[in-house]
């Protein structure tokens, strides 16, 4: 079983400026991530707000990221939505780039059955050329993909990885038991990265890496080289900041933090709104407490 990457990948935010995708800021953010030792970049994952972007804006973002990376690390393109055909149409836009995979979130709102999930992912796999990384995030979709379904999907060579963002530990362990030898599994939550590495995960797709790429990269390297206590110490030290970065719905706090750090505008798109002042103050203090220069 080949991994798409090992270590910390960033779920890159999409910077906006005056209502438009800020391509210059994307280029700067990519360089910062690469300098921070990031192992891969996810463009237009859910943290990148693709649900509020047009198809042309999503393509512009993915192509800008891919060009800026210049082959230095793998790029994964987010294609997932609750319409199966739209996922297929989106993936086809990126097939000439050389992305290592497409990230496909479990369909939201439709709240399909487990059989519907199986058919959704299989139809995408059979009708696109990009390998599929399944993204399971029950807190945002209300659906938790079942280990039995994953086991069936793992038989498809086009389905290669799972980004797991559940907090149901026994169920996650069952997924590792059933498909851990066939799918590369990654933590989709910053606060469970090291625990999932203990189960056999290959890395993390990180929101926090937008703010602290070096720290997340170091934490994952420590884990991969068997320095468990050092990795765990970093994980535990990050917990107050992780809580602050998720005190409001992602990516609102992450973008607010990046604005405080002078990395890009904190602009988000409706229905998301700027961070409330009380939570913004808490986030600022959490950043300062961790030693971030503002």
What residues does 10 pair with on adjacent strands? 41, 206
Is residue 202 annotated as part of the catalytic site, yes or no?
no
How far is 206 from 219, CA to CA, in rounded Å? 12
Q: Indicate whether 289 belongs to any domain.
A: no
Nearest to 7 by CA among 207, 205, 270, 263: 205
The single residue of 94, 118, 163, 186 carrying the catalytic annotation is: 163
Q: Indicate whether 2 belongs to any domain.
A: no
Is residue 163 annotated as part of the catalytic site, yes or no?
yes
The pTM (predicted TM-score) of the whole model is 0.96
CB 67 within 8 A of CB 30: no
What pLDDT does residue 110 have? Answer: 86
Q: Indicate whether 186 belongs to any domain.
A: yes
How far is 107 from 124, CA to CA, in rounded Å? 12
Q: Indicate whether 271 belongs to any domain.
A: no
What pLDDT does residue 141 have? Answer: 87
What pLDDT does residue 100 have? Answer: 97
Which CATH number goes with the domain that contains 81?
3.20.20.70
Range of the domain at 175: 7-232
Q: Total domain count for the chain?
A: 1
What pLDDT does residue 111 have? Answer: 86
Q: Indicate whether 263 belongs to any domain.
A: no
In degrees, rounded to 5, the angle at the alpha carbon of residue 222 between the alpha carbons of residues 216 and 223 is: 90
Tens digit of each residue's pLDDT, the chain (294 residues): 679 999 999 999 999 999 999 999 999 999 999 999 999 999 999 999 999 999 999 999 999 999 999 999 999 999 999 999 999 999 999 999 999 999 999 999 888 999 999 999 999 999 999 999 999 999 888 899 999 999 999 999 999 999 999 999 999 999 999 999 999 999 999 999 999 999 999 999 999 999 999 999 999 999 999 999 999 999 999 999 999 999 999 999 999 999 999 999 999 999 999 999 999 999 999 999 999 999
What pLDDT does residue 135 have? Answer: 97
Q: Indicate whether 283 belongs to any domain.
A: no
**Residues in Cβ contact with 216 at an 8 Å cutoff, skipping those fewer than 6 apart:** 8, 10, 36, 38, 190, 193, 204, 206, 208, 209
The single residue of 118, 135, 202, 255 carrying the catalytic annotation is: 135
Q: Indicate whether 214 belongs to any domain.
A: yes
Q: Indicate whether 54 belongs to any domain.
A: yes
What pLDDT does residue 140 have? Answer: 87
CB 4 within 8 A of CB 35: no
């Amino acid at each position: 079983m080949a991994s798409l990457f090992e270590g910390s990948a960033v779920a890159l935010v999409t910077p906006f400026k005056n209502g438009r995708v800020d391509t210059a800021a994307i280029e700067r953010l990519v360089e910062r991530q690469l300098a921070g030792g990031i192992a891969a970049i996810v463009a237009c994952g859910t943290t990148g707000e693709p649900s509020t972007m047009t198809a042309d804006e999503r393509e512009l973002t993915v192509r800008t990221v891919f060009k800026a990376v210049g082959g230095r690390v793998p790029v994964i393109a987010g294609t997932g939505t609750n319409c199966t055909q739209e996922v297929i149409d989106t993936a086809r836009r990126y097939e000439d780039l050389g992305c290592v995979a497409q990230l496909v979130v479990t369909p939201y709102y439709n709240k399909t059955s487990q059989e519907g999930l199986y058919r959704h992912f299989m139809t995408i796999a059979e009708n696109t050329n990009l390998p599929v990384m399944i993204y399971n995030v029950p807190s945002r979709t209300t659906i938790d993909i079942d280990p039995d379904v994953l086991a069936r999907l793992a038989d498809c060579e086009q389905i290669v990885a799972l980004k797991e963002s559940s907090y149901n530990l026994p169920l996650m362990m069952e997924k590792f038991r059933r498909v851990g030898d066939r799918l590369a599994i990654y933590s989709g939550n910053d606060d469970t990265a090291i625990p999932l590495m203990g189960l056999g995960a290959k890395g993390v797709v990180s929101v926090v890496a937008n703010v602290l790429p070096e720290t997340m990269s170091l934490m994952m390297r420590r884990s991969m080289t068997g320095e468990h206590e050092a990795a765990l110490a970093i994980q535990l030290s990050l917990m107050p900041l992780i809580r602050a970065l998720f005190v409001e719905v992602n990516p609102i706090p992450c973008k607010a933090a990046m604005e405080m750090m002078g990395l890009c505008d904190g602009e988000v798109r409706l229905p998301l709104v700027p961070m409330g002042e009380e939570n913004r103050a808490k986030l600022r203090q959490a950043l300062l407490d961790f030693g971030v220069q503002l």
